[in-house]
Amino acid sequence: MAAVISLDGVRDKNVMQLKKLNTVLFPVHYNEKYYTDAIASADFTKLAYFSDICVGSIACRLEKNGVMSVYIMTLGVLAPYRGLGIGTKLLKHVLDLSEKKNNISKIYLHVQTNNEDAIAFYKKFGFEIVDTIHNYYANISPPDCYVLSKEVHAKK
């Protein structure tokens, strides 16, 4: 039987799973506001399970600056589980959800300029580099990032 990839929402009772994943996946320490925003975004933040093992996550923040945007704070999958479609399933979940809601106009994120795998991954889904921010990251090298953005067109 093939392993099943399933998604689950992040809540107070399982937010530690997200914290553990972030510690392993990212060179950045996230503060409590990150986790508050992640939980507040409800269905836009998900944990990914591969045969009941938590192996990845996507955490988003909903922003309203005249228009609604979804900011992808983090998307990551543990190294042994990459290439199995887990990151794709997480991102597609957020893309589909954004299209179903009529008020979201774009999805965007920051990617370190040397993270070619992530840049190629997002470009496959129609994201474009719209800006470069120098010295965005404080304690990692290179400190620069690209802003990748994708317009959302609501499904009728």
Question: What residues act catalytically?
Answer: 71, 110
Q: Long-range contacts for 117-122 (Cβ within 8 Å, ≥24 apart)?
A: 119/146, 119/148, 121/87, 121/91, 122/91, 122/148, 122/150
> Distance of CA 30 to CAs 20, 35, 37, 51, 143, Å?
11, 8, 11, 27, 17
Contacts of 118 by beta carbon, 8 Å cutoff, 6+ apart: 111, 112
Q: Is 129 exposed, middle or buried (0-12, 13-18, 19+ CB in 10 A)?
A: middle
Element (H, E) at 7: strand 5-9
The alpha-carbon radius of gyration of the chain (Å, integer) is: 15
